[in-house]
Amino acid sequence: MRARTLTIFVALFAAALLTLPASVFAADGAWDPAVTIESTSTSIIGNPQIANDGSNLVAIWSSNTAGVTVIESSRSVDKGLTWSAPIEISSTPESAFAPKLLTDGDHFFATWGSFDSGTGIQRVLFSSSSDGGATWGTPVEVPSSGGLFTNPGMAVNNHTVTVVWSADVSPAIYIYASTSIDDGITWGSANVIGISVPNYTQPQVVDDGDTITATWFQTNGSDNLIQVASSTDNGTTWGAPTTFTETGSSTFPTLTAGGGVTTVVWVHSDGVSNWIESASSSDQGATWNTPVNVSATDQSGYFPSAATDGNTITEIWSSNDGSINQILVSRSSNGGSIWSAPTAISNPLTSSFNAVIASHGSTLAAVWLYHDGPIQGIQAAYSLDSGATWSTPVILSSATPVSYSPQVTVSSTMMSAVWGTQSAPEFAVATSSLTFPRPAIDPGLADTGPNGMLEIVALGLALLLVGALLFAGALMRTARPLPARR
């Protein structure tokens, strides 16, 4: 009887632990040693990207050989320990540039710009993989605008894929968007969603399942201004752009969306110093709150990135206090109206910059470049509680003199980073992963908010209490004295 009760207790105890949120557990995993996916002395490698569908890791990058650039891809099915031989996914003789990679959990999607030196024609190309990156479809042309254009941006949600870009089509530089609702098999026409006169810009786009939102910057002749436009019908039509009118220069916007809130973050300058500003919309882009300065007032800010778990928005950027560059983080739990005081997550003894952030539920991962003497390497830190606390930063890269262009992805089971390295005459693509000690909490539960999380914790504690009572009862029955013989 006691043995059976003990078994029941152990089962209840294990079930209780599994109901607790990921933030309750200390992350005892460590980043794997850096793995080289490809190394070459005949090509220049750039723009590495990485995505994770929970089972497969896929990386893509550009590789330039003798003036012709192609997009290559590799995948890992063992959590980043080993990688397949690279395959080319772009089409020659066109030269490809600026790849982007995303996944919706079922497919991997890649887009890039393409230039034919013989005809001078530029196109936006797209390809997808439905077998975890093992093979890729023949690239198709996204209905484009003609003219010379900048690096495309891409957003994915379920089976909907949206690509945005800016193009010089006389008499102006326009912002274009095209959307596919069938995993990129067919595409809608290229819609003009804004004007970027007279500068090229690299528009960004995000899709939260209800609203597709794009952002870019333009000039009014004296100041650079941030603009955003939204579509609520899968990219068929777009609303008129909203302009954040401020004196000074606003550039390099980026986006995140979730929980019904879309947030844009950018760099603003008054000509003397730079800082990070942010604005959010909770009504599908119809209105936006007044831009908020989220960075420290006595420090410069640049290179922002943002992520959300549907409840808390986390922004990350590089900052300089006059002596060293650090990576700072700020959070908002009320839709972007109020932000926490910035906190540093980088090593205070090294100069850090160019941070990027990714999220899955309440798990966040950030990677960035750092300088330490002659070394330019990659560091990383992570959070299991929506950015409230962060791990001690660790170095991912080897002692290669130059690492560059880090990117990061997070799934329910792991986080992975990719970057480029250069050690003359070798260029390489490198990666490192951290596997969670247990599967992270389901993102649907992580997005339930404070009340939902309290319910999960309460359930776990209740199971623990029931198990403890059963175990205590078993002990009491065992300790009860036997009746005396007559």
Determine, yes or no, domain membership for 91.
yes
Residue 134: per-residue pLDDT: 98
Q: How many beta carbons lie within 10 A of that of residue 399, not counting itself?
A: 9
Q: Which of 298, 403, 304 is nearest to 350 (CA)?
A: 403
Residue 263 within a domain: yes
Q: Which residue has the tokens 């209105």?
A: 287
Cα–chain center distance at 268? 22
Q: Radius of gyration over alpha carbons of the chain, in Å?
A: 25
User: What CATH number did the domain enclosing 27 receive?
Assistant: 2.120.10
- 3-state SS string for 154-189: EEEECCEEEEEEEEEECCEEEEEEEEECCCCCCCCC
| Strands of 283-400, DSSP E | 292-293, 300-308, 313-320, 325-332, 343-344, 351-360, 363-372, 375-383, 394-395
Query: For residue 17, what are the β-bridge partners?
Result: none
Give a yes or no: residue 370 inside a domain: no
User: In angstroms, rounded to a whole number, what is the distance separating the alpha carbons of residues 144 and 7?
Assistant: 64
376 part of a folded domain = no
| Cβ proximity of 105 and 413 under 8 Å | no
CA 50, chain centre distance (Å): 10
Is 273 inside a domain boundary? yes
Is residue 204 included in any domain, yes or no? Answer: yes
356 CB-side CA count, 13 A: 17
Q: CB–CB of 368/379 below 8 Å?
A: yes
Distance of CA 265 to the CA centre of its chain: 14
pLDDT of residue 21: 43
Residues present in the chain in total: 486
Instruction: Measure the CA dihedral 149/155/156/161, to 10°.
Output: -30
For the chain (486 residues), the mean pLDDT of every run of 10, in chain order, is: 48 45 48 95 94 96 92 97 97 86 96 86 92 96 80 94 89 90 96 78 92 91 90 96 88 95 95 92 96 84 95 96 91 96 94 96 97 92 97 90 94 95 92 74 35 41 50 48 43
For residue 272, is it within any domain? Answer: yes
Phi, psi of 344 (to 5 degrees): -85, 135
**Among candidate residues 264, 358, 343, 255, the one with its CA nearest the CA of residue 309:** 358
Q: Whole-angstrom Cα distance, residue 355 to residue 378?
A: 10
Decide if 445 is inside a domain: yes
Name, in order, each residue with C-beta under 8 angstroms of 254's C-beta and a sequence gap of 6 or more: 204, 215, 264, 265, 266, 304, 305, 306
Query: Which regions of 196-350 does DSSP assign to beta strands (E)?
Result: 204-207, 212-219, 224-231, 242-244, 249-258, 261-269, 274-281, 292-293, 300-308, 313-320, 325-332, 343-344
Cα–Cα distance list, 414 to 131, 302, 371 (Å)? 20, 28, 27
| pLDDT at position 322 | 80
Q: State which residues form the domain around 205.
A: 2-294+303-316+407-479
**Which residues make beta-bridge pairs with 251?**
267
Structural domain count of the chain: 1
Measured between alpha carbons, how far is residue 372 from residues 132, 279, 418 in Å? 37, 35, 20
Nearest residue to 263 (alpha-carbon basis) of 245, 242, 281: 281
> What pLDDT score does 436 carry?
79
Q: What is the DSSP letter of 5?
A: H
Q: With H, G, I as helix, E, B as strand and everything else as coil, classify residue 458.
A: helix
